[in-house]
């Protein structure tokens, strides 16, 4: 009797994941060379020196491939944010910061992180910007089948701000409000204003994205019930944190 050799499921899964990672790495190389707009299934296949059909065995569509890239981008930014926040926590632990001010400091530091990440991790920030709705006209439409895959990634983007907004409400630094809706407004607004850096050659003083992002973040906090004086104090603390080290630590 001939017995078929059964490949364990975990080995199959590892093989599939290795294929996905090779394709995502090739797509990343295309982005490095041609930018996000240059990512097509054919360009990625050419980078891998394989048939286009090979890509479809791992990703059902270009939208699915972009979703995979976005998940990796979020993971990279999460790593940088956690490293930066660990240093903020150490620095603030040695300082006499009011409990009500601390969440505002962390929120404004997050705005500074996004501004710094746009410089240190431009491709990752571009992918997150597209994830949150600012897609170029050539981007494939969002597929309903990807909703279950993308929604957790969106929440991973929002969670740090959702948590800090909750802390601010708990300490009565902000008025109560839907933290998820506010986090969406926070990211969409800040990622939008950071695009003004493209106009820097016209006027490097007027179109400085980082100060504009800080001003926008301060305005949002005041609009959500924050005391203007306390927000100003929090902003001063963020300036100190910025002077002590990068808010978005670069890749190791």
Residue 20 lies in a domain: yes
Structure confidence by residue, pLDDT tens digits, 206-247: 888 889 999 999 999 999 999 999 999 999 999 999 999 999
Contact by Cβ (8 Å): 45, 51: yes
Residue 81 sits in the same domain as residue 43? no
CA 209/CA 204 separation, integer angstroms: 10
Comparing CA positions, the residue from 9, 124, 134 lying closest to residue 69 is 124
The number of distinct structural domains making up the chain is 2
Residues 105 and 187 occupy one common structural domain? yes
Same structural domain, 41 and 108: no
Residue 250 lies in a domain: no
41 and 99 both lie in a single domain: no
Cβ–Cβ < 8 Å for 68, 28? no
Question: 109 vs 6, 217, 231, 246, CA distance in Å?
Answer: 52, 10, 12, 11
3-state DSSP helix/strand/coil percent for the chain, to nearest 5? 75, 0, 25
User: Could you tell me the CATH number of the domain that includes residue 140?
Assistant: 1.10.357
Query: Predicted confidence band at 136 (pLDDT cuts at 50, 70, 90)?
Result: low
The pLDDT tens digits of the residues spanning 70-103 come to 999 999 999 999 999 999 999 988 888 999 999 9
128 shares its domain with 7: no
* Domain presence at residue 142: yes
Instruction: Give the range of the structural domain holding residue 159, as residue numbers without chain letter.
Output: 71-244
């Amino acid at each position: 009797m001939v017995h078929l050799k059964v490949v364990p499921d975990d080995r199959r899964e590892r093989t599939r994941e290795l294929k996905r990672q090779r394709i995502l790495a090739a797509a990343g190389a295309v982005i490095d060379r041609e930018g996000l707009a240059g990512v097509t299934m054919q360009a990625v296949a050419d980078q891998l020196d394989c048939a286009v059909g090979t890509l479809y065995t791992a990703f059902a569509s270009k939208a699915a491939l972009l979703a995979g890239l976005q998940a990796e981008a979020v993971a990279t930014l999460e790593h940088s944010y956690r490293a930066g926040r660990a240093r903020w926590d150490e620095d603030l632990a040695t300082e006499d910061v009011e409990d009500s001010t601390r969440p505002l400091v962390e929120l404004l530091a997050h705005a500074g992180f996004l501004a710094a990440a746009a410089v240190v991790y431009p491709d990752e920030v571009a992918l997150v910007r597209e994830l949150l709705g600012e897609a170029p006209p050539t981007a494939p439409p969002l597929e309903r089948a990807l909703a279950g895959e993308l929604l957790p990634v969106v929440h991973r983007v929002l969670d740090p701000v959702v948590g800090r907004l909750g802390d601010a409400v708990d300490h009565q630094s902000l008025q109560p409000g839907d933290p998820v809706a506010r986090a969406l407004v926070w990211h969409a607004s800040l990622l939008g204003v950071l695009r003004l850096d493209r106009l820097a050659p016209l006027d490097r003083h007027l179109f400085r994205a980082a100060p504009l992002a800080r001003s926008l973040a301060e305005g949002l906090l005041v609009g959500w019930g924050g005391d203007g004086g306390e927000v100003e104090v929090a902003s001063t603390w963020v300036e100190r944190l910025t002077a002590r080290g990068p808010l978005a630590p670069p890749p190791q």
